[in-house]
Amino acid sequence: MEKYENLDNIDITILRTLQKNSRLTTKELAAKIHLSTSPAFERQKRLEREGYIKGYMAVVDAEKVGNGILVLCNIRLKQHTEDLIQQFMDAVKNIDEITECFNTSGDYDFLIKVYAKDMKDYQQFMQHTLGRIECVGSLHSVFVIDETKNTHGVTIRRKI
């Protein structure tokens, strides 16, 4: 049975509400979901404990902090050995410019999301950071012109 089965409609409403604004106080959350403060608090804590809520964070404007370029970079490894895959995943975890990394199917092995100050900064990143990861065979960079949608959330479906 899926963990999703443990959620009722109130839990789903809590998750949706906190995805929109995680800064709500317990009292504000309770009012939005039509519960008293104590049950709302207990449900939120249970959702955290069970891993439905992984954490809370501020969404920072990349441009305002000096990251004018967003790059989606497809990575192909030299070989598909367990050691090289793990080596790449371990390396990525320690690189601040990479904000997301996905192991993918198709022509490439990984897709990474990278923020850079400008084209020169990204070139330096490719040469001195990605270029030093031994297992990287090739890469293909896609420069984002404009971001049409980024909700920073996931779809939470209603139970039937």
Q: What is the pTM of this model?
A: 0.84
Q: 78 and 136: one domain?
A: yes
Strand partners, 138: 76
DSSP structural state of residue 50: T
Q: 136 and 70: one domain?
A: yes
Q: 133 and 71: one domain?
A: yes
Percent of the chain past pLDDT 90, that is, above it, reads 88
Q: 38 and 79: one domain?
A: no
How many whole angstroms separate alpha carbon 30 and alpha carbon 80?
50
Residue 55 located in a structural domain: no
Is the alpha carbon torsion for 140, 141, 144, 148 positive or negative? positive
**Per-residue pLDDT reduced to its tens digit, 101-142:** 999 999 999 999 999 999 999 999 999 999 999 999 999 999
Q: 38 and 91: one domain?
A: no
Q: 88 and 45: one domain?
A: no
Q: 76 and 112: one domain?
A: yes
Residue 99 located in a structural domain: yes
Domain of residue 36, residue span:
7-49
How many whole angstroms separate alpha carbon 54 and alpha carbon 101?
17
Residue 114 located in a structural domain: yes
Looking at residue 6, what is its pLDDT? 80
**What is the number of domains present in the chain?**
2
Q: 81 and 139: one domain?
A: yes
